[in-house]
Structure 1
Amino acid sequence: MSSECKGKNSWPELLGAKGDVAAAKIEKQNPYVSAQIVLEGTFVTLEFSCSRVRVWVNTSGIVTRAPAIG
C-alpha cells in the first residue's frame, strides 16, 4: 500500500460478503477507487494502482480475500 493513495485503503470487514455488495460499499467509502470483481483463479496484471480495488470472489460470488487498494 502506498501513502500516496487517497481515502480508505482496505476493507477486511467485507471478507465473506457478496461481491457486488462489497464493490458498491468500497466505491461509496472511497470515491477515488474503482472496485473490480474478479473470480478466484483469474490471471491479472501485477502493477500497483491507487485507483483500483480487486474484489476476489468464488464461484458463488462471495468475497474470498480482504479487498485492498492495489
Structure 2
Amino acid sequence: MEKLAYIVALLLLASLFQPLTARDLEINVLQLDVSQSDCPGVTKDTWPELLGVPATLARQTIQNENSNITNVPSILNGSPVTTDFRCDRVRLFVNVLDFVVQTPRVG
C-alpha cells in the first residue's frame, strides 16, 4: 500500500511539473508566416498564453475568442500531421497528460 502512495505522489508531481516545463521545450519545426489578411474573419492567429493549459480549456478559449475556428483537434506532440493550411483549424499539440505543449496557431 505504501508503494502505491509513492506512485500516486510521483504521478501528481509529474503532472504539475510538465506544464511548467512545456514552455522551455517548445520546438517549432515549421513556422508559417500567416498574417490576419490571409484568413478573412480571423482576428487572432496564435495563442501563446495557452502553453501549459489543459486541452479542454484551451479549446474553449480559442473557440470563444474566434467563432470562425470550428476545428480544434488535440494531437499528441510528435505525431505526424498533414501540411495543408486551413483557416478554420487550430491544432492543439498536447502531451500524454493532455496539456498544450506548443503554441496553438491557425493552420
TM-score normalized by the length of structure 2:
0.62
Are residues 1:50 and 2:84 paired? no
Partners of 1:24 and 1:39 lie apart in 2 by 18
Report the AA paired with residue 87 of structure 2. Answer: C
Partners of 2:44 and 2:72 lie apart in 1 by 13
CA displacement at 1:8 relative to structure 2: 1.2
Q: What SS does the aligned partner of 2:72 have?
A: strand
Larger Rg: 2
Partner of 1:24: 60
* Structure showing the higher helix proportion among its residues: 2
Report the AA paired with residue 24 of structure 1. Answer: Q
Report the AA paired with residue 66 of structure 2. Answer: N
TM-score normalized by the length of structure 1:
0.91
Partner of 1:9: 45
Q: Please provide the CA RMSD for this pair.
A: 1.0
Q: What SS does the aligned partner of 2:67 have?
A: coil
* Structure showing the higher strand proportion among its residues: 1
Counterpart contact for 1:7–1:32, Cα < 8 Å = no
Aligned length: 70
Q: What SS does the aligned partner of 2:93 have?
A: strand
Q: What SS does the aligned partner of 1:38 have?
A: strand
Q: Which of structure 1's runs of 4+ aligned residues deviate more than 2 A?
A: none
Q: Which blocks of at least 5 consecutive residues in structure 2 are unaligned?
A: 1-33
